[in-house]
Chains A and B, each alone.
Chain A
């Protein structure tokens, strides 16, 4: 795992703006950095900050950078579509073709709709944000519950979630699973329930955080990609040594802040 190599020249550790890091294994994976999960982060009970050395500013910086890396289209570069195409044939078609929305708008709409469906059943009084995990039933899950999934969804909630999809139990006339199979130890009722469950929302389909007992978070030099054993005091970014420290200050320090 990451070496911590301290430079023999001790004066550099006192250089303003820099500190050596003894890797204490803080785990950013425990912190909600997904910008979609702001509400979940806000809804989490206190005490989180003490476990972590990542400031809110650093978390924002990481989240912004990931959003940038995930970008499909650059809004600054508009590439016009050649105009010799057919005209819209119906009102519906016209409306759909004219949308200039990005995927995040559609996903935000989906989440907002789910909130409307679920919120009144949990807390009819206040507008408390609902943890994301409640949208994914975890009762079948034999993995140890991760902190964010510690409270399994009550059955009423699952039913509430499925109202978003289709209230009726689904029957499949097209693909009838052969029951005389090697999977005979799975009961037909259990199997049918499993196969008829509606799709998860996009957000609910995301993989969970890495296991808490897994390998420690690795930290890399922001400039050259080698192990990052020093930390910038201004922005918290890691670097490998003095050379990269200079490069970092000249380029990316506070870029995502």
Chain B
């Protein structure tokens, strides 16, 4: 039995497994508790899925996906749904595959000699949090553990590169636009203002599925080609600078009517050359060529190289437009700038001003061309003109939250103040632990 109180847990392991456990990818790294300054090079990005090919009957667990050469009809099983770990059978298999044992490359650790810092999405159902805590201590048997909403730890990025302060930033508004959804998180001195957290259920997953649906309707049945459509989405999407330009581009990509055919604008419309998974594993986009497209339709030579081409016009900008106009598909929600204002409306004016001056965008969707410009210009119109508005995209929006967590984990005094040891868990139980992580128990 350990001494009473966590002050007694002096001999914590000297390294911490930092996991930003996303629905699409896990961001992971082992951080020494006395590390000088972790960098994004210490972060591995691992697919958080088990994939199975219906063609060659092979199964790929997490990082094994890098070996896959045929993504055709690849089926995915993702343990994280809507951002929360739901299926522990699969997540356990993935964690064991990636982090446990001595065989295999990459990050290996002995949980009994390692701390775990695990991030979660905001508004996680309590039962799922409890499942997670029990698995971490009872199945993996980590020595000590802390679970918190990931973007909170972005407060521990130095507000200026030269700053050596370990104090969290005072006002920070994190926009996390990722695979599952897009969340708005006002954070004050390292504490999440829970009442003001808002969620727009538009994320990378919805957009990939939407592009898959549109392409299948308009061209080929690609409903089983999730991997490919995600690749295409990342290659060709852009966010229109404004609703006005959106309307113009919609005209420029319209085929016209019977008897009034229009020429598609080759500045927007592209042909995506699909991989055949024999000669090529990945596709590529090139300018639209109507002649070649005609050739595809039934006139391809039986001998020689075949080429399958997917033309993409308004899909390029109508898909990411959902972040700004969810009602385009009938979803009953304001666009992201409106959601940000809804969140800020909960705060006292002084905090609101502080948040607007320090908005940081993380998550893969922020990499879509034109996203930041549209977000800033729409916000500028909504924010009173005398207020400073500062919107930046994190240097590496995918690893930024992990890096914040890694910086936190590298400061032993910060880390010690939040970690719970396995002995404490064994003594006090899961309900106590849940309260402790919610900030309510000492």
Contacts and interface: CB of A to CB of B under 8 A. Distances in A.
Given A28-B332, A109-B127, A208-B342, A72 B257 contact: no
B302 interface: no
A137 interface: yes
A182 B170 CA distance: 9
A166 B438 CA distance: 9
Nearest to B100: A86
Interface residues of B, number: 102
Contacts of B76: 73, 79
Nearest to B354: A183
Interface string B192-214: 01110111110001100110011
A210 B327 contact: yes
A125 interface: no
B345 A199 contact: no
B44 interface: no
Contacts of A199: 122-123, 194, 197, 438
Contact of B332 (A31, A85, A99): A31
B125 interface: yes
Contacts of B247: 1
B93 interface: yes
A178 to B, nearest CB: 6
A226 B61 CA distance: 41
Given A141-B346, A174-B418, A208 B334 contact: yes
B134 A92 contact: yes
Dominant secondary structure at the B interface? mixed
B138 A90 contact: yes
B130 to A, nearest CB: 9
Given A97-B89, A99-B88, A199-B197, A77 B331 contact: no
Interface in A49-79: 62, 65-66, 68-74, 77-79
Contacts of B438: 165-166, 170, 198-199
B171 interface: yes
A182 B78 contact: no
A73 B77 contact: yes
Nearest to B246: A218
Interface in B322-339: 325, 327-335, 338-339
B440 interface: yes
Interface string A108-125: 011000000000000000
Given A168-B440, A205-B197, A86 B89 contact: no
Nearest to A79: B77
Given A137-B195, A181-B170, A223-B217, A89 B139 contact: yes
B193 to A, nearest CB: 6
24 contacts: A31-B332, A81-B50, A81-B77, A81-B93, A85-B93, A86-B100, A89-B139, A92-B138, A97-B92, A97-B139, A103-B81, A106-B86, A107-B125, A140-B347, A165-B438, A166-B438, A194-B348, A194-B351, A198-B438, A199-B194, A204-B123, A205-B122, A205-B123, A207-B339
Interface of A: 1, 7, 28-29, 31-34, 62, 65-66, 68-74, 77-82, 85-86, 88-90, 92-93, 96-103, 106-107, 109-110, 136-137, 140-143, 165-166, 168, 170-175, 177-178, 181-186, 190-191, 194-202, 204-211, 214-215, 217-218, 220, 223-227, 240-243, 251-252
Interface of B: 23, 50-52, 59, 61, 75-78, 80-82, 84, 86-90, 92-93, 96, 100, 122-128, 131, 134-135, 138-139, 141, 167-168, 170-171, 180, 183, 188-191, 193-195, 197-201, 205-206, 209-210, 213-214, 217-218, 243, 247, 250, 254-255, 257-258, 313-315, 318, 325, 327-335, 338-339, 341-342, 345-351, 354, 417-418, 435, 438-440, 442
